[in-house]
Amino acid sequence: MRVATWNVNSVKARLPRLLEWLDEAKPDIVCLQEIKTTTALFPEDEVAELGYEVAAHGDGRWNGVALLSSVGLDDVSRGFPGEPGYEGEPGELTLIDEPGLRRPETRAVGATCGGIRVWSLYAPNGRTPDSAHYAYKLDWFAALRTALAAELAGHPQLAACGDFNVAPADDDVWDPAAFAGSTHVTPPERQALADLRALGLRDVVPTPMKGPHPFTYWDYRAGAFAKNNGMRIDLVYATEAVASRVTGAYVDREARKGKGPSDHAPVVVDLS
DNA sequence: ATGCCTTATTTCATAAGA
């Protein structure tokens, strides 16, 4: 069984490359992030032709997640209980609803596939550590932890996969000094990951195809990929029951090359 | 090193990404 997670940065813009990659890598379960389209407009027919069922969860221009599975797709959850929405900066005019009533964004979709409870997750970016978005990010992780704790009670085989927007350790960024004062590396964000691991989830660290660091993201700008100025922020957090089945894991950096790539590469995990 | 931003939209400018 092959499980993959990939932030595609628009499923519409990436569709030719996504289909090509699915055909080549042949994963059984795929977690997608940043589909940047609505649930209704997800290109379901195109991936169905390759044998996948789809559970998409998207609301338009930003965010959006999806699950593809060729091994069953049951008990779909769009979002999770207690998932917060983004309230904006204090005093900021929000588009809808009263403060405290903002709808959650489309950042999580879960389903049971091939006997595994799988979640495709896209954590908030956080922008800057002094922003409301950063507070929202930490709130979102806290709510995720509570939701996953409940899920784990009924699902010993569980994998939480996706773009966590946090580099777990200094080795997971190309230059820790370049991130001084930035999000993705702050102690509270890293603690949020540690709190998830404390639930009994293991970080399934992939093998890099090149170099010592299994980076999964490289900025489009300044030739970051060519210089391997990357980060490891796309993660697979698996229960022991799943982690003990891992026979191999790698970052497919080939998918970051060529014309029209996502700025993230897929993380691929093989299970016995 | 496999090329030096990209995306969708309230589109010829902007916000967001990390």
Residue A228 Cβ < 7 Å to strand B? yes
Beta carbons within 10 angstroms of residue A6's beta carbon: 30
Give chain A's domains with CATH numbers: 2-271 (3.60.10.10)
Q: Residue A82 — left, alpha, or beta (φ > 0 → left; ψ -120 to 50 → alpha)?
A: left
Burial of A250 (0-12, 13-18, 19+ CB in 10 A): middle
Residue A7 Cβ < 7 Å to strand B? yes
Beta carbons within 10 angstroms of residue A173's beta carbon: 23
What is the residue-averaged pLDDT of chain A? 94
Contacts of A189 (CB under 8 A, 6+ apart): A126, A137, A138, A141, A166, A183
Protein residue closest via CA to C1' of B18 = A125
What's the CA gap between A207 and A226, in Å, rounded? Answer: 19
pLDDT at A30 over 60: yes
Residue A110 (CA) to nucleotide B5 (C1'), in angstroms, measures 31
pLDDT > 90 in chain A, percent: 91
Convert the pLDDT of each residue in A217-266 to its tens digit: 999 999 999 999 999 999 999 999 999 999 999 999 999 999 999 999 99
Please tell me the number of Cα atoms within 13 Å of A135 on its side-chain side: 8
Strand ranges (DSSP E) for A81-137?
108-113, 116-122
Question: Residue A32 in contact with residue A65, Cβ under 8 Å?
Answer: yes
In this complex, the nucleotide whose C1' atom is nearest to the CA atom of residue A95 is B10
Residue A209 Cβ < 7 Å to strand B? no
Residue A115 (CA) to nucleotide B14 (C1'), in angstroms, measures 44
Residue A228 (CA) to nucleotide B3 (C1'), in angstroms, measures 12
